[in-house]
Structure formats: C-alpha cells, structure tokens
Amino acid sequence: MRTSRVFSVKDTSKVKEHLLTWGRQFQEVAWLDSNECDSKTGEYEAILAVEAFTAIKTDDVAAFDKLKEYQETTADWIFGYLSYDLKNDVENLSSRNFDGLHFPDLYFFQPQKIIFIREQQVEFHYLRMVDDEIEEDLEEIQGLEVQTKAEHNPVEVKSRLSREEYLDKIGKMLDHIHRGDIYEANFCQEFYAENVQIDAFSIYRSLNEISTPPFAAYLKLENFNLISASPERYLKKKGEHLLSQPIKGTARRSENPEEDLRIAKELADDPKEQSENVMIVDLVRNDLSRIAKKGSVQVDELCKVYSFKQVHQLISSVTAEIAENVPPVEALRNSFPMGSMTGAPKISAMKIIEELEESKRGLYSGAVGYFTPDGDFDFNVVIRSILYNSENKYLSFSVGGAITAKSQPEKEYEECLLKAKAMREVLTNL
C-alpha cells in the first residue's frame, strides 16, 4: 500500500524545521514532535503526516464504533484526535456548556504522505498513488528557507471566569468532596479571544520553543487548529504492551539551580500532590484492568519528578498486557477520557465537572495521536494547548487542576495561572 524510502541526515533539528515549514501548505497536517525528550518510550523523534486520502469526522454518537470500523478498514496509518466529549459515547453523559470552537468530536485522516524522523534518518512512507513525488518533495524540502519567527498582533485573552467565580466553583467542588460524592475531580477554566486572526503555525513554533515538551503537536484539519505543548502521554500500545503515564502534581521552575532543586524535592515530598497522583494511578489501573490480561497491570514508576522548561511535574507510569482478541480501539474506549483529566470515581466526577464548568471542553483534555497499520497507537493528553477555529476566528485555551479534600482554592488558582503562562506569552508577544 505504501512505498518507503530512507535517507540519512546529519542534523535532524534542521530537517525538522524544513519539514514543518514544508508541511504547512497542506489542508490536513499532523505534526508530532517528541523534542528528543521521549527516547526511552517513543518510537520517533518526529512525524509529519499530510494530505488526506480518506478521513472520518463525526460527533459523539457511536464515535468509537465508527473509529473502530475506519481503523480496521483502512488498515493503514491514521492520524487525528479524540475530544473529551466522547465521554458521552462511553457513558450516559451529555455536554451542554458553551462551545465557541465547534470542532467535530472525532476527526482522523489517512495521509497520502508520511515522513518520520528517527536516529539520524528520514523515512518517507507514501501511498503508491503519489510515490513518484518522493524525490521531488525531498528536493523541495531541502531547498526551503526556514521561516523566521513571525510577529503577530498581540491577542487579548479574556477569562471565562473571574478569580472570585473560580474560587466559588472550587468551594462547591470541595462541598461535593466533603459530602463523599467524589474523592477528586479535575476542574478547568477557559481563556478565550473572539474575532482574532492568527498564524497557528507560527504560534506553534513559538510555544514549542518555550516549552519543548515530549508530546508536542501541531494539527490543522480544515479550519480546525491545535497548537499543543503537552507533556503527558495518555496511552500507548505496542504489540501487546500498553503504557499510560498520568501527570498529577505541578510546581514552578527557578533560574537559581539550588532553589530549583529545592522546589523539585518539595514537589516530590508533598503529601497532597502525591495523594492526587496516587488516586489517578488507581483509576488508570482500574481502567486498564478491563482490557488487560489478568495480573498484568503494573505500576512501573510512582510519583517521579520530571522537569520541563516551564514546570516540574509528578508523573507515574502504568503498564499492562492487552488481553487476546481486544481490538485496539477498545483499549481507548475503555480508558477514555483519561483519569488525569476527570477524577475519581470517574463517572461522578465527570457529572460534577459538567455541572460546574462554564465551557465545553471539546478537544481540550482529549487526545491526539496515531494508529499504525498493525493496530499499535500512541496518544497524548491535550493540555497546555491552544485551539483555534480559523473560520469563526475563535481562540481558546483551558487550564485546570485536581481538586482534593486538601486543596486550597487560592493555591489552585495560582497553579492555573502558572500552567497558562507559556500560552499567554506566545499570544501576547511578551
């Protein structure tokens, strides 16, 4: 089905810049970049997939069934996203909050052209109908002048909630926790701008340069744009092996090395942050146990501190072996939405989230990634991400955090502002 060509390169960082610049011309673009952070568990340094041959775009009704049929029928590489609101397909839930973005709930495409970068090599995997363009495209990519960072008019971002409204909502969430309705829930707030025109490609490059996260993504599907600096993996499948790496626990970085080490140690030792993480690890273990071989679910890392340019994070790694005769899409269906963005118990938390949040989450706290022809997959968690509809010129990003019985509303608000910092910077040209 595909023709493959492999070329050796000396400077993969330069090739990545050229590839990304070349790819922006297409109507459908998926760019996934590990920023050399994910060498232990990542398959590729970067992937560019462009120009749809086929595609699926749908709302939440029977969305996973449609995706399963599409994935099995194409039996090829497909790239795309799952929005948070597919929760309504998995459980008897609904999404009634305000939606300014109007993204489809699920969108995947089968690219005509895929280019992989790994281990000083560039691999072209083209459908046979366009494989005669490999040499021509390579020459064009090599000859490109990489665009310098484009300046843009500062985007004035508004908050959907005032500080007082946010604190009031957290108070109500804590009431639910103290009544025993839930143990933990992830509460999010939206920042938005209306009637703005941005170059999503340039904003992505700036955000990625500031953050360099392991699960960065730039997605353009028609007028729907995702600019993602995600540090979190949702779920990966390779053969029978499943890996989930939930994040719970955030602390700021410091330019002073001694202070930075102290902050990281305080995060590692913080009982509140640890308890948040452990609750979500238990939820992930429970989700995976539904589609895993008996006794195969393991916690390989618990509450380990990982440091990124903007923040320190507590990350755990949960692994499992998928049970026989479980289709790949079922592994996603049974663990979606991811525990780090919902809470525990999961369904109760999602109901309370819907009641208290003001905006429909949409692609935020969903997942972006790919399936291979063999049915393997790798998906991130869409956080630290800007969403933009170029047709109605609506821009949005959301931030949130886990609320537990030990949460202090003012500190939760400050954590939200910390998570929003990089996105604000690239939008306001600071």
3-state SS, the chain, equals CEEEEEEECCCHHHHHHHHHHHHCCCCEEEEEECCCCCCCCCCCCEEEEEEEEEEEEECCCCHHHHHHHHHHHHCCCEEEEECHHHHHHHCCCCCCCECCCCCCCEEEEEEEEEEEEECCEEEEEEEHHHHHHHHHHHHHHHHCCCCCCCCCCCCCCEECCCHHHHHHHHHHHHHHHHHCCCCEEEEEEEEEECCCCCCHHHHHHHHHHHHCCCEEEEEEECCEEEEEEECCEEEEEECCEEEEECEEEEEECCCCHHHHHHHHHHHHHCHHHHHHHHHHHHHHHHHHHCCECCCCCEEEEEEEEEECCCEEEEEEEEEEEECCCCCHHHHHHCCCCCHHHCEECHHHHHHHHHHHCCECCCCCCCEEEEECCCCCEEEECCCCEEEEECCCCEEEEEEEEEECCCCCHHHHHHHHHHHHHHHHHHHHCC
CB atoms within 10 A of CB 100: 18
The token duo for 200 is 């999503």
> In the annotation, is 232 catalytic?
yes
The token duo for 377 is 């997959």
Distance between CA atoms of 46 and 130, rounded to whole angstroms?
A: 22
Catalytic residue among 66, 220, 237, 248: 248
Catalytic residue among 232, 273, 276, 357: 232
The residues annotated with a catalytic role in the active site are 232, 248
